Chains A and B, each alone.
Chain A
Amino acid sequence: NAGVMQNPRHLVRRRGQEARLRCSPMKGHSHVYWYRQLPEEGLKFMVYLQKENIIDESGMPKERFSAEFPKEGPSILRIQQVVRGDSAAYFCASSATSTGGNEQFFGPGTRLTVL
């Protein structure tokens, strides 16, 4: 049973370009979460999605960031017009249910570097 998959593992973009990060949840999981980890910091929640729905995007910056989880295919986190401050590790997690006590399984992360 494959774990959470993320690609690419490393992504380099120049300021003003778009970054597109992909996440495939564990088989059977329909709940996906995106977190951002800035250098030397813990993970901060960005957005929670179920298939075709954004449930909670309270941690997502209001501009330039968007996320989707289509009926078919991986979840996508899109960052438009990247700036240096977007450089971070972006982790996706999935769970089988949405309860707070349910374990979330994390992917290996995408490390975004903005030049």
Chain B
Amino acid sequence: GDSVTQMEGPVTLSEEAFLTINCTYTATGYPSLFWYVQYPGEGLQLLLKATKADDKGSNKGFEATYRKETTSFHLEKGSVQVSDSAVYFCALGGSARQLTFGSGTQLTVLP
């Protein structure tokens, strides 16, 4: 079945540092890929998505490219801010209608 493997955290960075959170997936067919962000005590918000190979999703300085050859969708940001501190989830929308999530990566950005 579908699965998502996400870089384990927690990740702690200084403000303005470069961020990478790795995500790889296993799926049949051509899934869509998503990054969601969860702030403390809140629900999940869609950060970005890509629906086909080589697509790049981007939002709020975050980017991720759908790499079919490496089955990856790594999240990157060139310069993180304290306000980016949250839990980040990689997710896959495949042949089944529900989303399959990775285990989440806790990011803490220090001033």
Contacts and interface: CB of A to CB of B under 8 A. Distances in A.
A91 interface: yes
Contacts, number: 67
A33 interface: yes
A48 B103 contact: no
12 contacts: A33-B98, A35-B101, A42-B101, A42-B103, A43-B89, A44-B101, A45-B99, A48-B98, A56-B96, A102-B93, A103-B49, A106-B36
Contact of A101 (B32, B44, B46, B103): B32
Interface in A50-104: 55-56, 59, 91, 93, 98-104
A100 B43 contact: no
| Interface size classification for chain B | 20 to 34
Given A42-B102, A101-B32, A48 B97 contact: yes
B69 to A, nearest CB: 20
